[in-house]
């Protein structure tokens, strides 16, 4: 999960205003990307733009505000949390925060909700998709250059149902760790089903 803090970052010694705990996003091809690295300026989310540097162990720095002559350069915030524009990585090229899937009217770009949580996907021609929602990698079958399946599937649903209304410790379906598999856990499962799985995409195999 990636989220921001709603107070001045200097008050706690941060370079940007990204939460120092919820600071990672994931790419199948490059691994974890850190939006609040220990070195560097960090990432700052404003009402009109997102600026700063993102660090990846595998591809180096990604600049969210590269100051390029290209009008689309840099990540813009429309004030409601909808992000657009392109970031730049010296080793990977341009990364689009509001990509379009051919012949698909759904929106897959990156957004920030009212609680400061990021969701959605960014796309780089050289590195593929970057997922902004889950704290753990989302598996998908990359049969084409586009995502072709969802984060959870029917087998996951069967396992969840088998544990439904169970009690005790260490149950795989007890997502909120209250020792009960109940409606709160179902809501989390449903969010994982619907959130990373836009309409029309097949389930994970």
SS3 for 184?
helix
37 vs 9, more confident? 37
How high is the mean pLDDT of the chain?
A: 77
The tens digit of pLDDT for each residue in 17-45 reads 787 778 888 888 888 899 988 887 888 88
The domain boundary, picked from 89, 110, 131, lies at 131
Q: How many CB atoms lie within 10 A of CB 49?
A: 15
137 vs 188, more confident? 188
Q: Could you list the residue range(s) of the whole structural domain that residue 50 is in?
A: 2-131
Same domain, 100 and 163: no
Per-residue pLDDT at 11 exceeds 50: no
Same domain, 177 and 101: no
5 vs 94, more confident? 94
Model-level pTM greater than 0.75?
no
DSSP 78-106: -SSSBEEEEEEETTTEEEESS---TT--S
The pair of structure tokens assigned to 82 is: 């909808």
The domain boundary, picked from 131, 164, 191, lies at 131
Per-residue pLDDT at 54 exceeds 50: yes
How far CA 196 is from CA of 41, 59, 112, in Å, comes to: 30, 25, 15
The angle at the Cα of 34, spanning 205 to 96, to the nearest 5 degrees, equals 65
Same domain, 119 and 176: no
């Amino acid at each position: 999960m990636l989220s921001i803090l709603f107070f001045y970052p200097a008050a706690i010694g941060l370079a940007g205003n990204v939460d120092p705990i919820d600071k990672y996003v994931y790419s199948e091809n490059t691994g974890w990307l850190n939006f609040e690295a220990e070195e560097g300026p960090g990432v700052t989310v404003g009402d009109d733009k997102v600026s700063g540097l993102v660090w990846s162990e595998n591809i180096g720095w990604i600049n969210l505000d590269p100051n390029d002559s290209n009008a689309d350069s840099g990540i813009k915030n429309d004030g409601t949390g909808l992000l657009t524009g392109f970031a730049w990585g010296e080793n990977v090229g341009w990364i689009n925060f509001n990509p379009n899937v051919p012949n698909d009217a759904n929106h897959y770009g990156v957004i920030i909700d009212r609680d400061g949580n990021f969701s959605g996907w960014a796309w780089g021609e050289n590195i593929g998709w970057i997922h902004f929602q889950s704290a753990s990698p989302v598996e998908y079958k990359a049969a084409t250059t586009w995502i072709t399946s969802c984060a959870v599937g029917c087998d996951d649903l069967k396992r969840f149902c088998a544990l439904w209304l169970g009690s005790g410790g260490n149950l795989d379906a007890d997502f909120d760790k209250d020792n009960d598999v109940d409606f709160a856990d179902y809501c989390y499962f449903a969010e994982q089903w619907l959130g990373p799985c836009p309409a029309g995409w097949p389930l994970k195999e």
